[in-house]
Structures are given as C-alpha cells and as structure tokens.
Structure 1
C-alpha cells in the first residue's frame, strides 16, 4: 500500500499544474499572439523593402508572445523584462561568439545571458533562446555584429510589447501590470508594505514568478475569504443595534449630552424628517464643539462662529456618514473599514434610511463569542 501511494503521488505530480483556462481566455491569448506577431512580420517586410536584409524575425519572439499575451501579469512578461532581457541576451551572445570556440559557446552564451538578465532585473525566458539562436546562426550574427542586439532583436521585441500593451488593455487585461506603490488599498488591507511583501517573495524564491502587486491582491482576497469563514457568513443585520436613538440636525447639543449620559451610548445617528441619514454625532466631536464653543463639523460650508453653548446644534458637530453598509453585507467585509480607515461606527442602511449601527465593540464581541465557542468545541 505505501508503494501504491508513492506511485499515485508521482502520477499526480506529472499531471497538469495549471488550472483550466476560462473559455474567453482560450481565444483571447492566442488571438493576441497572432495579431502581435503578424504586426511584427508586416513591419519586418516593410523594413526589408526599405533597408535590406538586416531586418528579420527571430524565433524566440514566439516564446515572448506566449508570455506577453497568455500571462501578462507575470514579472517575466513585463516590458522591461521582455525588451531588456532579449536585448542583453543578444549582446552577451555576440560577445561570446568573438572569444569562445564551439562547442563551448552554446552553454556559455546561454549561461551568460541568464546572468546578464538577472543582473539587469530583466529575466525573460525567451532571452535564453535568443542567445542560443545567435550561436546556432553564428555566421549571420558575426556578419551583423552588435547591431543584431538592436535590429532585429530589440526593435521587434519592442514592437511586440507595444502591440501587447494595446491588445491586452482592449481585451480587459492590465498590461503593463501596476507597480506596488499604485495599489495602496491592498497594502492598507494587509497591513504590509511593498518591501515586506517583496521580502516574503524573496524568502520563498518566488520573486521571479509572482509580482508584489499580484501577491498583495491574492493575500487580500484570501484574507477576505478567511474573514467570511471566521464569522460564519454573519450578516450586518444579525449583528447591528436595531433600537436606535436618533436626533435631528436641529437637536441642541445639550440635549445630545443628556442622551449620551442616559443611554450609555457613544454615537447618535442624525436623521432628517423622512428618516434619511444625514450624519453621525460622536462623543468626541460633541465634546470638542462644547469645549471650543463653536461648530466643528468638517464641512467647507459649516459656520465656525463662536456661539453660546445653548445655540449649538447636532448639525454643528456631526460627521458625514461616508461609510455605510446594507443589511445583507457580510460582517467580515467591515474589518478593513473599522481597523484601517479610522471608522468607529458604520450605519446599516435600508435604502436611504438607517435601520441600525455597528460599532467596533460589536465586532469585538462577535470575535470573543466565536473564540469561546471554538474553545468549548
């Protein structure tokens, strides 16, 4: 039985590692490669007619097309990797051909190309094929000289990259992929900086396979799913405080003080005559308004003139309720808002009307309740 299990494990290891592609992707990527290489071929034909035989297509462009159109999010497929990787590989191969005799030139050219790509942070697998092709076609490459790295390799790779940028964006793929600093939302959610994410990739030797931005997106999605499982799909309607104590915009702050004291609450929804939510009055803002003796509402139209305390109203100290949820919103979706966006209270809405509120204390209570249940189990 152990031997059978070992054979079974070996068999599974030989099966496809990639997931099945979506139906749309099975035509999107091949069509893109077809379009990109056709444009390169047309350009080469035009340049041959104008300038002679220096222009021609190199076979490794086919491998570049696979990366640029099928896996455009890969660090190996980004413009710098493709253009610089192919070009420096060609430069190394031309140099090797000048000093290394066959058959040693094959291995040294490819090995040198890999080293050059790693040093220039432009690792691009087709670059190794460019170096090998240069050695195979040694006579032609020696005749062209160092120009081989620029024309045809660099120029045709650049044209292929430009076509990939246009095609991928037209078909809904982001290419070139966004750099980490343009995704602050993912970092705030994870609580990890780009440097920390990069260190994780380096620790597991995955920096060449997964980009920092990709890792941030994957971890954020995993965190969201984990939160949903942790709270057992609890909805906001299941956790919210339903018997709300509300005030109007014209409620005096002295009345709000009395409500805070009587009911031991920390926030008061401010609603209109039709029940629509206008804002949230927090204890801290109320105390600040009463201490300063003037409105503290964060609004460019708010009147900031000092007035008697009895004249200060709820609208003078309330905050706009920028963050709201519906009754069906999963509680797990609130973690980021409460933890990293300095939100203390989240109103729960039914259309324009507020039907409940959820506070940080409610979330903490749910966490503790789940912890006790898991410990008992």
Structure 2
C-alpha cells in the first residue's frame, strides 16, 4: 500500500474490548453525574438538560476517560482550559456583533490564552464557540457561564475520572516526573540519565509537548532500553522470565493463613485462584498493611492490634475480602519491556500471566532483574575474539 494511503488509516493501535468498555462506561457515568449535578447548580432556563450538560463536555470525556495519560487531559488544562475559553467566549460575544467574527475571535483568542497559561484542552475551543454562537445565553448568564456549567461541570468530570481510574486500576492524573521548567532535578528512572528539564527540552524541540508529557517520554525511553537489553540477552517475552511454580490461595482462604504464607515464603504477592487455575485476583502485602492501617485509624487502636484483629479467624475474613481484581495482567507473549510500565502505573511489583482466564505464571520485578542480570553475566563470560 502506498505511504499516502497508509497515512489515511488508523494512527493508533486497536483498543482491547475491555479497555473500550472501561472508557465507555466511565464517560457514561461521568456525563450522567455531571449532568444531574449541573441541573441543580447551573441557572438552567427551560425544561430538559439545557445548559447543565454542554456539547464540549462530550469531547472532554473522550480525553479524560479514553486518553487519561495525555497532557491535554490532565486536571489543569481541562479545568483551566475550559474556564478560560468560556470567559473569552463570553467577552467576545458581548463586544462583537457579527456571528462569524465572534466565532473566529472567540476560538482564536481562546487558543492563544490557553497556550500562554499552559492549559491547552482541545474541547475548550468548542466551549468558546458555544458562547460565541448563543448571545441569548450570554445575556442571561454573562460571565457566570464560565462558573456554571463550564467550571463546575469540568471539575465534576475530572473528579469522576480520578475515581473511575482508581476503581479500574489506572492512574489519573498522571504523575509528573519533571520539576518546573529549567530546574535541574534528578534524572527520572529509565530515562537514559536525562533530567526532567532535558526531557522537557526534547519535547519542546520536536514540538511534541502537547502530545507527550515528560513522564510519558521517560517511560518510553525506559521501555526501549529494557527491550533492547532483553533482545541482546535473548529475553523477549514474559514467557521467558515468569515464575511457573506458584503458591496460590483460594478466595475463601482465611486471612490468618494468607499471612502465614507470606511469612513462610517471603512473598510480596499471592495469586487467588479457583478450580482449574481460574484467576480471581492478587493479594499484595501492602493490601494487608493498608487494610490494617485503616482499621487502626477508624478504631483508634495500634497497628499491631489492628493486624491481629484483621487476621482473627473468628471474624471470618478471607482472601476475597482484600484481593485486588483490577490490576494489570499479561499473557505469555507480552513483551518484557511492557512489564515495568504496567507495574509502575498500577504501583505493584508483580503481574499475573493468564491464558484464557487461567493463571499460568507470575512475573515480578525480581524476575526481570534476575533474567537480565543472568544474561549480562553470561555475555561477559563469553570468550572474545
């Protein structure tokens, strides 16, 4: 196929059905809640949804729920971008009479203001246009349009995106790795020794600062370094490094027994499986610690007492009560380079490896380091010409 025709096709990989469902249900819930809340808070005229749910919120939802790692989807550009654009749109609508001129001025000035304020959010262009096209609405609401529904609705969407990400094992907002522009700062992990300011400089030089954050660039560099090391050492996929001889527990295993297994084997995680190796979730030591800390805080007791209470057999707490079901998962063919970003995003040290819903192994940070170190030692010991 000619390059020109290829350029007209899809530019991103096909999403997994589970990821598409995750994003779609998130947007559905987010817009529904924002719309209902907006009806109560915004000065809506007339029946129906009215101004509590404006069209640009649909575009914001695409970024917040389908592309939450994009720099354009982070809380600052989302909230400030939409709000600034609303203020600009209202001001232009009050000053300019011709509708075509209003729209052009509103969108153009909104883009300039967003760039100056480091708050570029593409749906904000539609916010400015919405104000410019509706003088009647601007006459009724004035600059209050920027507060409700725009700022209020966007804050609600951002907050719901944070909750949805946490419930589905994702991170939003994305954690920035770079300090303020120009600050020296330490080099982020997996960034080839480049500082945050240097990463930011690269993105600016190649005009990619609106497409990638410094954290994204550092993760990509780290993944490329790891994949290169894996190729050199003959380690290409998760199947080459995963642990296959596993100790597992069932969903109804008492927590006291789970704790005993952690102590006996010095594990950081325990998979939870059912008949035939069907995978249900993973218990991490940190889950037990966090659960005990919450219990200690609520009950006003010490951590040790809270842990004893948590593992008391008389309370009938089991593995299913503390296991994580929304963490990252891999298959045997998953590239090794994909593991560390998955672990970092979900803040875990192990990723279960599945085959048609059945647990066949588990890959940990230690497995990755051990495999690469073994290959590095073998390469160093090989005879040289």
TM-score normalised according to structure 1 size? 0.60
Alignment partners' CA distance in 2, 1:98 and 1:327: 61
Counterpart check, 1:329 vs 2:329: no
How big is the shift at 1:24? 1.1
How big is the shift at 1:229? 1.7
Alignment partners' CA distance in 2, 1:328 and 1:121: 39
Match of 1:145 in 2: 142
Alignment partners' CA distance in 1, 2:194 and 2:162: 29
Aligned equivalent of 2:13, options 2, 9, 19: 19
* 1:310-321 equivalent positions in 2, closer than 5 A: none
Does the 8 Å contact 2:64/2:161 carry over to 1?
yes
Does the 8 Å contact 2:191/2:221 carry over to 1?
no
Does the 8 Å contact 1:189/1:220 carry over to 2?
yes
Aligned equivalent of 1:97, options 93, 98, 106: 93
Change (3 A) 1:64 1:52: closer
Match of 2:349 in 1: none
* 1:88-167 equivalent positions in 2, closer than 5 A: 88-102=84-98, 103-167=100-164
Aligned equivalent of 1:193, options 192, 195, 199: 195
Alignment partners' CA distance in 2, 1:189 and 1:101: 52
Alignment partners' CA distance in 1, 2:96 and 2:369: 70
Does the 8 Å contact 2:187/2:194 carry over to 1?
no
Runs (5+) with no aligned partner, structure 1:
235-323, 336-357, 373-377
Between Structure 1 and Structure 2, whose CA radius of gyration is higher? 1
Change (3 A) 1:135 1:329: same
Equivalent position SS for 2:52: coil
How big is the shift at 1:124? 0.2
* 1:117-266 equivalent positions in 2, closer than 5 A: 117-181=114-178, 186-187=188-189, 190-233=192-235
How big is the shift at 1:114? 0.5
How big is the shift at 1:138? 1.9
Alignment partners' CA distance in 1, 2:54 and 2:368: 59
TM-score normalised according to structure 2 size? 0.59
Match of 1:264 in 2: none
Equivalent position SS for 1:176: coil
Pairwise CA RMSD of aligned residues? 2.9
Match of 2:73 in 1: 77
Match of 1:375 in 2: none
Alignment partners' CA distance in 1, 2:374 and 2:226: 7
Change (3 A) 1:333 1:189: farther
How big is the shift at 1:155? 0.6
Deviations 1:13-67 (A, max 9, x none): 111111010121010000000000000111123336xx65496221100000000
Alignment partners' CA distance in 2, 1:195 and 1:121: 16
